Amino acid sequence: MKLTVKSTPEDFVVEEVLRLPLGAAGPFAVYQATKRGLTTPELQQRLAEQLGVSPRSLAFPALKDKAAVTTQHFCFRGSGPQELVGEGYSARLAGRSIRPLNPGDLLGNRFCITLRGLTPDQALALAQQLAELAQEGLPNYFDQQRFGSYPPGGVFIGKAILQGDAETALWAYLAQRAPGDSPAVRHFKAFARDHWRDWPAMFEQAPRSNHRSLLTFLKDHPEDFRRAINLITPRLLPLFLAAYQSFLWNRAVSRYLQVRLRDSPAQCANVPIAGEALLVYRSLPHALAQELAGLTLPLPHHQMALSGSPLDAALAQALEEEGLTASQLKPRLLQRAYLPKGRRAVVLVPQDAATERADDPEAGTLLRVKFFLPPGSYATLVIKALAAT
């Protein structure tokens, strides 16, 4: 089934929920902001201008989608008005805190997603499937938003870095198309692909960006790719590494489920993420759903401890398929960027799931899908699983 999502920003509504209690005193003012058609960095810039402070002084614990109506929190040291209003956003003072907000202060997000163009039977089936997901869960994959630097079939910058191939990583950064590239960057990257290693010519074509800084260095040090890689904007290098780490984690979970569900009566299908066809399921036996819900898998890292369990074996298989060993999961090319450590639940269980149906004579049947997810999980993945199964 193909579902129409985000026909308008109002079709995808997100409300961030804090776990941190706020009070009436404290050095940090905490605001709740609602935005429409803006990225979080764009919101940050506009709020900073209105408050007369540096954008860096505003702390946002999470990023939110542009093509949506989102409510999120930010804070800064000092005081401000009770309300802030501007083009595409509004904010109200929610309270004060003794410290700045961080990602650990988030309990999760509430979603209300409108699915359009359905038949009454499809709406009924989707409502039933959401109820099943709320009971048995779905694989907790990283969804496509995690892979903005990677065009399916292309080169993972993070993988090239882990393999110690600085020139390939640099080529992917400077010449490989990425989904979010602006027209100017697309034009430059096309030129770079045809004139690779002609650093002066590439410099003349590069838009004003970090690309020009790299090419200034390469004009004087044409073979020093390792030092050039470390000149990439610092906030981007951890994102490139995390994208490839997430790709490996996704593949390992899918490989494990393929084996584990081989003899199960569950209905299985695939969802596409970062060029991979990853397994999703429905109608699991209750005991199996309970078993899967208790599993976690480490984020691939050179210091991870693998026990030899079937789940760990799937992670080892994913590494082998990529031509890597666990010892290579340390970015030795980089000076100040590392793979994050930790474990991630294999299964995601939407909470507070509910649906509302509406019939529109012109638009057909609409279904509003509501649920709550913990931080780091993807509502778009829930919708993909509903459509696939």
Arithmetic mean of pLDDT, 108-124: 94
The span from the CA of 42 to the CA of 66, in Å, is 9
Closest CA to 239 of 328, 178, 194: 178
120 pLDDT more than 80? yes
**Do residues 40 and 64 lie in contact, with contact meaning Cβ atoms separated by under 8 Å?**
yes
How far apart CA 245 and CA 348 sit, in angstroms, is 19
Of all residues in the chain, what percent carry a pLDDT higher than 90? 84
Which two tokens mark 44? Answer: 């940050």
> For the segment 88-97, what is each residue's pLDDT rounded down to a tens digit?
999 999 999 9
pLDDT at 6: 65
Instruction: Give the pLDDT band of residue 37 (cuts 50, 70, 90).
Output: very high
pLDDT bracket for residue 1 (50, 70, 90): low
Sign of CA dihedral 295, 162, 324, 302: negative
DSSP code at position 146 = G
Q: Determine the pLDDT at residue 180.
A: 81
Task: Tell me: pLDDT of 299 over 80.
Answer: yes
HSE-up (13 A, CA, CB side) for residue 93: 16
Q: In angstroms, rounded to a whole number, what is the distance separating the alpha carbons of residues 51 and 108? A: 27
For the cut 70, the answer to whether the pLDDT of residue 103 exceeds it is yes
Given pLDDT bands bounded at 50, 70 and 90, which one contains residue 296? very high
Which residues pair with residue 106 across a beta bridge? Answer: 18
Residue 135: the pLDDT is 92
Q: Are 174 and 211 in contact (CB under 8 A)?
A: yes
Assess whether pLDDT exceeds 90 at residue 237.
yes
Q: What pLDDT score was predicted for residue 4?
A: 65
> What residues does each domain of the chain span?
21-100, 164-237
pLDDT digits (tens, 9 = 90+) for 126-185: 999 999 999 999 999 999 999 989 999 999 999 999 999 999 999 999 999 998 888 999
For residue 117, pLDDT beyond 90: no
**pLDDT at 3 (0 to 100):** 67
Q: How far apart (Å, rounded) are the C-alpha atoms in residues 261 and 310?
A: 13
Tell whether the model's pLDDT for residue 10 goes beyond 70.
yes
**Alpha carbon distances (Å) from 111 to 50, 86, 228, 377, 389:** 29, 24, 42, 12, 20
Give the active site residues. 65
What mean pLDDT is predicted for residues 98-104? Answer: 95
Query: What is the average per-residue pLDDT within 213-220?
Result: 96
Q: State the fold for domain 164-237.
A: Hypothetical Protein Yqey; Chain: A; domain1 (1.10.1510)
Is the per-residue pLDDT at 235 higher than 80?
A: yes
Query: pLDDT category, 286, cuts 50, 70, 90?
Result: confident
Name the CATH topology of 21-100: Alpha-Beta Plaits (3.30.70)
CA 6/CA 13 separation, integer angstroms? 10
The residues, ordered by sequence, that sit 6+ positions from 319 with a Cβ below 8 Å of its Cβ are 248, 300, 325, 326
Provide the b/e sequence for 157-196 (b: ≥16 CB within 10 Å).
bbbbbbbebbebbbbbbbbbebeebeeebeebbebbeeee
Given this chain, do its domains 21-100 and 164-237 carry the same CATH topology? no
pLDDT band at 305 (very low <50, low <70, confident <90, very high): confident
Whole-number Å distance between alpha carbons of 295 and 309: 11
Strand segments (E) across the chain: 12-18, 28-36, 69-77, 83-86, 89-97, 106-118, 138-139, 267-273, 276-282, 296-298, 343-345, 347-348, 351-360, 364-373
What confidence category does residue 57 fall into, taking pLDDT thresholds of 50, 70 and 90?
very high
Distance, C-alpha 189 to centroid of its chain: 24
Tokens representing 126 are: 């989707």
Q: Is the pLDDT reported for residue 267 higher than 70?
A: yes
Q: State the chain's mean pLDDT as an integer.
A: 94
Give residue for tokens 């590069």. Answer: 206
Averaged pLDDT, 39-44: 95
User: What is the spatial distance between Cα 193 and Cα 291, in angstroms, rounded to a whole number?
Assistant: 49
Q: What's the whole-number mean pLDDT along residues 268-289?
A: 93
